[in-house]
Amino acid sequence: MTTTDLNEAWNYNEETTTPEPVITTDHQGPAREPRPLIPIFTNGKCGFHVQANKSRQQINSPGYESNSYSNNLDCEWIITTNPKKPVRLVIEDFSTESCCDYLQILDGNTVTDTLRGLYPHRSVYTSTDGILKLRFYSDGSVVRQGFMGVFYEVQTPSPNDDRETTQYINATCGFNATASATPQTLNSPGYPEKYENNMYCTWRLTAQEGKQVKLTVGRFITERVDVLSIYDGNTLIQTLSGTHLQWLQHFYSTTRELIVVFRSNPYLTFTGFSASFIEIDE
């Protein structure tokens, strides 16, 4: 089915469909009537404001489907939820000019990460409150395919839950963290209980300039086809699967960033893994 067919189908059903949140966009062009948010209309917009829900909705740079964004873009997407419901963003694919075209991720008004160049793995971001922003910039020269991701509302623990914030963060499917001299934990979701099927989790660990990240993996039990991959920046340095019980395994970044990715298939699950990370001198 073509885009035209989908648009005609939407127009046919407009009178009988309950409207959803309307996209607003800063795209410069002929004025057009705003439409309710469905996936085909989120794709390719140079910015919009939308409320996330439990369903995964797609977001991508303008021109992603045609393999090229335009020069001189300045786009902003604002994703909100109900109060106290965090937003989760998963960047599935990312490719820009490495020097000058970039995507900023903001937790509220605070920049938490800036992506540029090529990322061969998923990147996961979770807001601390009900607002997440993306800003995409391109200069006037080289262009690439851009980025594609999904976003959705995260269900948080009840206010009466006694778990500490750090324990809740460590139980999530991926996070971004700044390493320090104090060891921090990084466990598979649910550890020491079994992890779930069909997981794809990414943890990005960053040290200060001139420092490195050390990851120590302790108890490790997964199905042999459920894999933990460890990257030094964008370079894969180790994969672990199966059972490792007798020794601690240490992994070191040569740059200031270490990335940990865990994948599970639809079948058997086990207790997963327990790890910690720390910042060290080069």
Residue 158's identity, in one-letter code, is S
**What residue segments make up the domains of the chain, in order of their start?**
36-153, 169-281
Contact in structure between 110 and 42 (CB atoms under 8 Å): no
Please report, rounded to a whole number, the percentage of residues in the chain having pLDDT higher than 70.
Answer: 76
172 vs 31: CA distance, rounded Å: 42
Question: Long-range contacts made by residues 25-32, C-beta under 8 angstroms, separation at least 24?
Answer: 26/75, 26/76, 27/62
Q: End-to-end alpha-carbon separation of the chain, Å? A: 55
> Quick one: pLDDT at residue 156?
53
Which residue has better confidence, 234 or 7? 234
Q: Class assignment of domain 36-153?
A: mainly beta
Mean pLDDT, the chain, whole residue set:
78
Helix or strand run (H / E) with residue 8: helix 3-13
Interval 78-129: pLDDT, tens: 999 987 788 888 888 889 998 999 999 998 888 888 888 887 667 778 887 8
Q: What's the whole-model pTM score?
A: 0.49
Q: What is the DSSP string of 65-117?
A: GGT---SS-EEEEEEE-STT--EEEEEEEEE--TTT-EEEEEETTEEEEEE-S
Q: Class assignment of domain 169-281?
A: mainly beta
Contact in structure between 240 and 188 (CB atoms under 8 Å): no
